[in-house]
Structure 1
Amino acid sequence: MATTEGTTTGAIRLTRYARGGGCACKIPPGELEDVVAGLVAAPETAPERTSEARLLIGLENGDDAAVVRTPGDDGPAVVATADFFTPVVDDPYDWGRIAAANALSDVYAVGGRPLVAVNLLAWPRDVLPFDLAREVLRGGLDVAAQAGCHVGGGHSVDDAEPKYGMAVTGIADPDRLLRNDKGRAGLPLSLTKPLGIGVLNNRHKATGEVFPEAVQTMVRLNRDACEAALKAGVECATDVTGFGLLGHLSKLARASGVTAVIDAAAVPYVDGAREAVRDGFVSGGTRRNLAWVEPHTDFGDCDEATRLLLADAQTSGGLLLAGEVPGAPVIGELVPQREHAIVVR
């Protein structure tokens, strides 16, 4: 349900200072794959010091964080990630909370536990007052504390466009990781948060309407979902963020050598999402996501609005799991590889 706008700073609307918003400001997945193609260091060319540690999860399959096995092979693996973006809501405290939850999600998406984070802040110091930046940082600190994660400073730059996020370090059991390439035919697909965040954020940016359910969805940690997945023996997962459900699922299906079948009627949405699509509040990032997955997806008779929602660029979305966990709806299954990576029915 939408409410009238209310921020701690009155008239200043942070989303007006950003071209995009949240994870919708990501570089499109197709362009990004072209940029990073071939940037995996061969063992013979890697720096000698890396021989002391073993990279368990890296760039190859588009996983959510890097995971390194520490020397000695008898301790936990180290998880490292970074994530930041432009304002997704006007309230600075909420933006900080959302950005922190989104950055921490990358650790949970590989089965890890965050230990320490550092802030990443870009701020137009001659345009926006620093009391807003303080509120952003306070929001990030509060969510990190909720996650049991220390915040140890960070880095800031003077920039024309405000951006905030975190670089996060965590640990994980190297024998119980969640990764993109472990999907198997016969496994159900579960989604732990509803879709539609992107179109509601785009409506918020355009109109100032506030959507409390969307905010609460974005600030909710994926910690419980991660713990439930590990407890259930899940091995394959990713989080659903800027490339949308279909974009992240396409990477998972390709890495695992399977096809994903989605039951469109089983996918949950945040209240108001379909109305936002109907009224035209679809970001360019979402449309680029859809264009990228269309050649690899059999949509059957799926209507345009549903296609856009399935490709909607999420910010701090849920975990997509190859397995069942309590409280997460099953939205499809993995089947032996077919002509298309994804089939929507």
Structure 2
Amino acid sequence: MNEIKLTQFSHGGGCGCKIAPGVLSELLAAMPAGLVPADLLVGTDTADDAAVYRLNDRQAIVATTDFFTPIVDDPRDFGRIAATNALSDVYAMGATPLFALAVVGMPLDKLPREVIGEILQGGAEVCREAGIPIAGGHSIDVLEPIYGLVGVGVVDPARVRTNAGAQAGDVLILSKPLGIGILSAGLKKGLLSDDGYAQMLRWTTTLNRAGARLADIDGVHAVTDVTGFGLAGHLLEMCRGAKLGATLDFDTLPVITEALALVRDGTATGASARNWASYGDSIALADGAPEWQRKLLTDPQTSGGLLIACAPEAVEAVQAAIRAEQGEAGSVVGTMVAGPARVQVA
């Protein structure tokens, strides 16, 4: 089982295998208009993290699904990362998870049953940590290994936090460091150290449970999780939803140490280039900014952190909520500003 390398089956691992945002926008634009009942509080309009459907004045169901191909070779680690990533979308809406359904696609003629069992065990461990059961799911025989979850949660409709509610003057806080895609690229090239892998695993298996706490902070106006489209892409979605611009202070961005060294040496994912091709015309880098900065801003984050827009007076409470869940407070990285939906990087 130790000779099996899961990433050898993947054309792109983790959230790096997402369809590029520009292509996805074209596909969604071609979809026929569907039903939009009054109780569907969050649907597809703002490219948000999950759907939200109101049951009554005090309860709304939050539902999402997320799955991908292997980002690491260890099957248990792959299962843990994929499950953590899937539940992140529930937390990003301010909700508390209720249960999950497993999404499983495996090449049964290539992977031993023991390896597949380890993947499922990793996912189950994360759900146990989140305090929820895996209540069912679906499995198919496919060419590439695929694993993830459908996540279902509950939230007070008045406390839903979408990616579209930011206000001019809001402070931007990022709860986890960047660099996961860069580390995964380094892993595939044999460049990642044991410590770098440990850091990658630490952050990709840290549940974004702070999101449920953020729902109770009145000054929190918008939340999203940073995943396959990179920090710049998901911030741009926040800008478009709020019809505002944003500024990022590049020097304040938290970055995993080994990822910074790797990207400076030219290591990056193909998804980073696809991301830039999709939305780079809406990102203004500082004059003379080196190419590695663009690669970091567009780096796909598998199981990345929460990006939070909050009133300046709420910063302390937001960072306390993050610290209570993951031991570190997150970083202030920018500001929402009046103007067109663009991101200015200083």
TM-score by length of 2: 0.91
1:311 equivalent among 298, 302, 322: 298
1:87 equivalent among 70, 74, 82: 70
What's the CA shift string for 1:3-22, capped at 9, x where partnerless?
Answer: xxxxxx32211111100000
The SS at the match of 1:153 is strand
Any gaps of 5 or more consecutive residues in structure 2?
A: 320-328
The SS at the match of 1:260 is strand
* Aligned residue pair count: 327
Q: Partners in 2 of 1:120 and 1:321 — Cα distance?
A: 29
Q: Which residue of 2 aligns with 1:65?
A: 50
Report the alpha carbon displacement of residue 37 of structure 1 after superposing the two structures with TM: 1.2
Report the alpha carbon displacement of residue 231 of structure 1 after superposing the two structures with TM: 3.0
What's the CA shift string for 1:226-269, capped at 9, x where partnerless?
Answer: 41463353120110000000000111101101101000000000
1:288 matched to 2:274: yes
1:264 matched to 2:269: no
Sequence identity (%): 44
1:124 matched to 2:104: no
Q: Which residue of 1 aligns with 2:229?
A: 243
Report the alpha carbon displacement of residue 328 of structure 1 after superposing the two structures with TM: 1.6
What's the CA shift string for 1:94-128, capped at 9, x where partnerless?
Answer: 11010000000000111111111011011000011
Q: Partners in 2 of 1:208 and 1:281 — Cα distance?
A: 9
Q: Partners in 2 of 1:311 and 1:224 — Cα distance?
A: 24
Q: Which residue of 1 aligns with 2:41?
A: 56
Q: Which residue of 1 aligns with 2:283?
A: 297
**Match runs of 1:179-190 below 5 Å:** 179-190=162-173
Q: Which residue of 2 aligns with 1:111?
A: 94
Any gaps of 5 or more consecutive residues in structure 1?
A: 1-8
Runs of 4 or more off by more than 6 Å in structure 1?
A: none
Checking the alignment, whether the CA contact within 8 Å between 1:179 and 1:238 is kept in structure 2 is: yes
Whichever residue aligns with residue 252 of structure 2, its letter is A
What's the CA shift string for 1:247-306, capped at 9, x where partnerless?
Answer: 001111011011010000000001211222133321111111122222111112232111
Checking the alignment, whether the CA contact within 8 Å between 1:260 and 1:341 is kept in structure 2 is: yes
Whichever residue aligns with residue 153 of structure 1, its letter is G
Whichever residue aligns with residue 204 of structure 2, its letter is M
Checking the alignment, whether the CA contact within 8 Å between 2:46 and 2:241 is kept in structure 1 is: yes
What's the CA shift string for 1:167-191, capped at 9, x where partnerless?
Answer: 1111111001111210110000000
The SS at the match of 1:182 is coil
RMSD: 1.6
Q: Which residue of 1 aligns with 2:263?
A: 277
1:227 matched to 2:217: no
1:329 matched to 2:328: no
Q: CA, structure 1 residues 186+219, in 2 after alignment: closer, same or farther (shift >3 Å)?
A: same
2:307 equivalent among 320, 328, 331: 320
Q: Which residue of 1 aligns with 2:141?
A: 158
Whichever residue aligns with residue 333 of structure 1, its letter is T
Q: Partners in 1 of 2:80 and 2:238 — Cα distance?
A: 28
Q: Which residue of 1 aligns with 2:155?
A: 172
TM-score by length of 1: 0.91
Q: Which residue of 2 aligns with 1:6?
A: none
Checking the alignment, whether the CA contact within 8 Å between 1:253 and 1:260 is kept in structure 2 is: yes
